Amino acid sequence: MALARHAYGKSEVRVVKITRTPGRHVLRDLTVDVALEGDFSAAHTSGDNSALLATDTMRNVVYALARTHPIDSLESFGAALVEHFLEAGPTVTRVRIDIAEHPWERLGDHEHAFQRGHGGTRTATVAGEGSATTYEAGIDDLLVLKTTASGWEGFVRDEHTTLPETDDRILATIVCARWSYASAPEEPEWQAVRDTLLHAFADHYSPSVQFTLNRMGEAVLERHPGVERIHLSLPNRHHLLFDLQRFGLDNPNLVFHATTEPYGLIEGTIERGAQ
């Protein structure tokens, strides 16, 4: 028997940083995960911890670097953590930093008052191995819906099929997306990609979630040359027309039952050069 690939780290380090400038405060609210890979076999096989950096130390490093390093870019903060842990761990060969940013929105023009934001959770992953660093961005929990311009027709029917065809339905999904960059992105790039995803979701008639997924991915690659590939996961949050006939009422596509489970799940990766 032999110990195969292994890693360890510190997860869900919650960091809130306030950058205080005259007349305006900037708030960044993050959850940071640290994962280290390297030769830690002695700790597993013989109880020798001499090559291990304590996970408590990893937590402290996140807070210390949050103080000394500007968080004007999630990717630059992640890269600083990668560089630190590659140097600090005596046998560390690869570092992965996952960051989720929890959105806050300023209350009007108020300089230091905020409300919990909406529109999805921003994610960033920075990984370093030797001199190579990779960057991945993403979004979770982006709930979108359109009330028409969507259908589902021409699908396979058999003895178990009960779903009627329609050319006018509600399309609702919770977008989860991950995209990779060829190099470190500029800070405004994430918002620009998010805006492209939203625009592409809304700008067409959708014959299927699959079609919409591909259109959204292609739009990102067309408009953002720094993005190499994008993976999208779109759960179909069904809205079913409710039968009101038993109450003597018609229902001309007005009243729906929103369901959360079970649900269809459509996933796909769009990348440059793919046919």
- How high is the pLDDT of residue 247? 96
Q: Is 55 a catalytic residue?
A: yes
55, 91, 121, 134: which one is catalytic? 55
Q: Phi/psi of residue 190, each to 5°?
A: -60, -45
Distance CA 11, CA 7 (A): 12
Q: Phi/psi of residue 87, each to 5°?
A: -85, -30
CATH 3.10.270.10 residue ranges for the chain: 7-130, 141-271
- How high is the pLDDT of residue 173? 96
Considering the chain, what percentage of its residues have pLDDT values greater than 70? Answer: 99
**What's the token pair of residue 256?**
């729906």
Q: Is 17 a catalytic residue?
A: no
Fold of 141-271: Urate Oxidase (3.10.270)
- How high is the pLDDT of residue 234? 98
Report, as an integer, the average pLDDT of 252-268.
93
Report, as an integer, the average pLDDT of 221-243.
96
Give 100-116 as a DSSP string: EE--EEE-TT-SS-EEE
Query: The dihedral of CA 4, 8, 12, 17: what is its sign?
Result: negative
10, 84, 196, 231: which one is catalytic? 10
- How high is the pLDDT of residue 265? 97
Mean pLDDT of the chain: 94
Is 131 or 227 the better-scoring residue by pLDDT? 227
Tokens 């009330």, located at residue: 147
Nearest to 21 by CA among 70, 65, 54, 55: 70
Distance CA 2, CA 41 (A): 10
Q: Is 10 a catalytic residue?
A: yes
Kindly indicate the confidence band of residue 29, based on its pLDDT and cuts at 50, 70 and 90: very high
- How high is the pLDDT of residue 131? 86
- How high is the pLDDT of residue 82? 97
**What's the token pair of residue 48?**
């020798």
Q: What is the pLDDT of residues 156-206, one digit of tens each?
A: 999 999 999 999 999 999 999 999 999 999 999 999 999 999 999 999 999
**What's the token pair of residue 47?**
């109880």
- How high is the pLDDT of residue 275? 52
- How high is the pLDDT of residue 273? 82
Q: What number of H helices and E strands is found in the chain?
A: 5, 12
Query: CATH classification of 7-130 is 3.10.270.10, yes or no?
Result: yes
Sequence-separated (6 or more) residues with CB below 8 Å from residue 225: none
Report, as an integer, the average pLDDT of 88-105.
94
- How high is the pLDDT of residue 274? 52
